Every structure is written in structure tokens, then in C-alpha cells.
């Protein structure tokens, strides 16, 4: 048993009592059913000898357990909590809004609680988040013809110099160069397998990767070079559609995606990624079959490398490519996620 877990007697008692104070500390696998649950699950309680405990959903999945359909242990962690939602709705309706700690207190919200939530879920403070939103909206206005000074004052800045300094610090270039530069807006999309980093231009989605993917920073740097763009946290018209379709996919109700994509890469990579999109939901192919489909049967290793360079996971389904012997190999998000995605599609085909 993992040493970071409470002792088994304590965990089993918490399971019997549906003790919510243990939420997130452990998950329980039921050997007789092959499912795993939260400590607070309302399902009939198994005997102690029929359970084993795991520190994370990842460990439970790796040990072959399926998520319980009653308590949903693969919940969308990081979703906006109810106490913060009214403020976030307010910001969505007015992206240039400025909110000080005193403003949050007047709304009955503890600023420290907000700060902690944003650091945990977005890697930045609440004020940095607001400032970044203001800058991203100002960039859009300037890029499409508005004067810099007008964008500065409409964004709530009291001086042009202060706006210019903040703009340059956030984007890496001065406001007057907005018409010459492209910015890729970045946000987090929540999934049962952990958060994903999404990126989009005005034309469509160009990035969708699990945030703990190996070499994610390398992929982001490649993306910046390919698009000659800066990456900045912010909103984009494609994010709501992407979020909705990803949730539908994990709910088992969506088998095809219609969100527009913007794909940058070599001619060979684009050929491989195009072939990936012809693999139907619930089906798999080998790397050899992929090489044959693109008319280059000897390029198995090159096809595998191109698969690994895919920056739009799930929608461009590189998880559907497996080894010739049927083994699961080569997935940047981790083989445990690949197994889950294939099982999800098999169950809903």
C-alpha cells in the first residue's frame, strides 16, 4: 500500500461512513466488480477483503479498474466553484472589469480564497488573470483598427505609458506592433483525465494537450515558431465550443468533432495527421497500416514520430494508433490515458 495513504482500517471506516473529509485523499477499488469509487459513494458497501485503496484515479485506472457511474470519481476537478461563479460570469460579460480586494469583499468573497483558487487552477493570481484578459482584448481592438490610446483607456488604464508597459510585459511586443503580430490565446479545458491546455487563433483550435504531457514546453515553443506568434492566457470564440464538445466526448455522446482546427507542420506531418482523422471512433490502426494508407509503407518510424508531434490530442486521434501486435505504445499523455480513451470509445461504439 502507498505510504502516503491513511491506514486501511481508517480508509475502510471512512468508506462505510461516506466521510466527505476523505474526498481526494484516496479512491477505493472493488475487486468483485472491477470498478473504483470515491469514499462518499452511495453504492452498497463491499466487504473489506474485496477492496483495495489507491492515492489517485490514475493508479486505479492503471490497475485495471473502471470508474463508477454512480459517484463519478473522474470528476472535472478545477471547475469554477459556486461561490466564485457569479464573479466569473461578471468578468465574462465585462472582460475589461477591474476588481480590487475591496470589491471582492463587498461581494461577500474572501480575496485570499480567490487568490489560492487561481494559483492552483490557473498558475497565476486573480489580478494577473484580470490584467491578461484586459490586454488580450486590447490586442484584438488594436489589431482590427482601433487606436492604441483608445484601447488603453477603454481597458481601464489611466495613462498610455502604463498601458504600454503592461502590454509589452504580457505579450512581448509593443501595442503599435499588434497589427504585425499574431497571438494564440491559451486556456485550460477540464477533463476527467486531468486538465488540458488549449490554444486558438481567430481561425480555430491549434493546440489541445494534457498539461502534464512530456515535453509540453518544447511543443509550445514549436507552436510559437510555426505560427510566429506569442502565447497569452485569454478568451477566444472557439473555446466554448471546444469545451462543450470535449465534455460530450467524455460523456460518450459525441463521436465526431466539428470545432475548426488550424494545423501547422510539414507536408509529411499534415499527411499523417490527416490520415489519423480517418480512423473511425472505436477503431484502431497500427503504425504500419498508417504508413500504408499514406502511400509510404516503409515510413513506419516517421509516421510514429509525426504521431508524437500531434499537438491536438483526442480531436486528431493519435490515441487510436497501436502497435502491430495490439500493444498500446507511444502516447504523450501517458499510456493509462490512451487505454482509458480506447475503452471509452469501445464502450460507446
Residues annotated as catalytic (active site), given as ranges: 318
- The backbone torsions φ and ψ at residue 313, rounded to the nearest 5 degrees and listed phi first, read -65, 160
Is residue 224 within 8 Å of 230, Cβ to Cβ? yes
Residue labelled with grid coordinates 480575496:
111
Task: Round to whole Å and give the CA distance between 346 and 66.
Answer: 13
Task: Round to whole Å and give the CA distance between 318 and 309.
Answer: 10
How far is C-alpha 90 from the geometric centre of its chain's CA atoms?
Answer: 23
Task: Round to whole Å and give the CA distance between 255 and 231.
Answer: 30
Task: Round to whole Å and give the CA distance between 296 and 289.
Answer: 10
Partner residues linked to 261 by β-bridges:
205
Is residue 84 within 8 Å of 116, Cβ to Cβ? no
Amino acid at each position: 500500500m502507498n505510504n502516503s495513504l491513511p491506514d486501511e482500517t481508517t480508509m475502510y471506516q471512512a468508506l462505510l461512513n461516506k466521510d466527505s473529509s476523505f474526498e481526494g485523499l484516496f479512491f477505493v477499488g472493488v475487486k468483485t466488480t472491477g470498478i473504483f469509487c470515491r469514499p462518499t459513494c452511495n453504492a452498497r458497501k463491499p466487504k473489506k477483503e474485496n477492496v483495495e485503496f489507491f492515492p489517485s484515479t490514475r493508479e486505479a485506472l492503471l490497475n485495471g479498474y473502471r470508474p463508477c457511474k454512480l459517484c463519478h470519481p473522474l470528476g472535472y476537478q478545477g471547475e469554477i466553484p459556486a461561490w466564485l461563479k457569479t464573479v466569473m460570469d461578471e468578468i465574462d460579460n465585462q472582460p475589461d472589469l477591474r476588481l480590487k480586494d475591496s470589491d471582492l469583499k463587498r461581494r461577500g468573497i474572501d480575496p485570499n480564497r480567490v487568490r489560492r483558487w487561481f494559483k492552483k487552477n490557473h498558475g497565476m493570481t486573480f489580478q494577473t488573470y484580470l490584467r491578461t484578459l484586459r490586454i488580450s482584448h486590447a490586442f484584438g481592438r488594436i489589431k482590427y483598427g482601433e487606436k492604441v490610446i483608445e484601447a488603453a483607456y477603454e481597458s481601464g488604464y489611466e495613462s498610455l505609458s502604463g498601458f504600454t508597459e503592461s502590454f509589452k510585459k504580457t505579450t512581448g511586443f509593443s501595442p503599435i506592433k499588434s497589427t504585425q503580430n499574431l497571438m494564440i490565446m491559451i486556456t485550460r479545458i477540464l477533463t476527467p483525465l486531468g486538465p488540458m491546455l488549449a490554444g486558438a487563433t481567430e481561425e480555430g483550435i491549434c493546440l489541445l494537450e494534457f498539461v502534464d504531457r512530456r515535453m509540453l514546453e518544447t511543443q509550445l515553443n514549436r507552436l510559437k515558431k510555426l505560427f510566429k506568434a506569442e502565447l497569452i492566457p485569454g478568451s477566444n470564440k472557439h473555446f466554448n465550443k471546444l469545451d462543450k464538445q470535449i465534455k460530450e466526448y467524455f460523456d460518450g455522446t459525441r463521436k465526431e468533432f466539428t470545432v475548426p482546427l488550424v494545423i501547422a507542420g510539414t507536408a509529411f506531418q499534415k499527411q499523417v495527421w490527416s490520415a489519423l482523422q480517418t480512423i473511425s471512433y472505436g477503431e484502431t490502426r497500427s503504425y504500419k497500416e498508417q504508413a500504408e494508407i499514406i502511400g509510404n509503407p516503409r515510413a513506419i518510424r516517421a509516421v510514429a514520430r509525426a504521431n508524437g508531434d500531434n499537438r491536438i490530442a483526442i480531436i486528431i486521434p493519435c490515441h487510436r494508433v497501436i502497435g502491430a501486435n495490439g500493444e498500446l505504445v507511444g502516447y504523450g499523455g501517458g499510456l493509462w490515458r490512451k487505454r482509458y480513451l480506447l475503452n471509452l470509445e469501445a464502450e460507446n461504439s
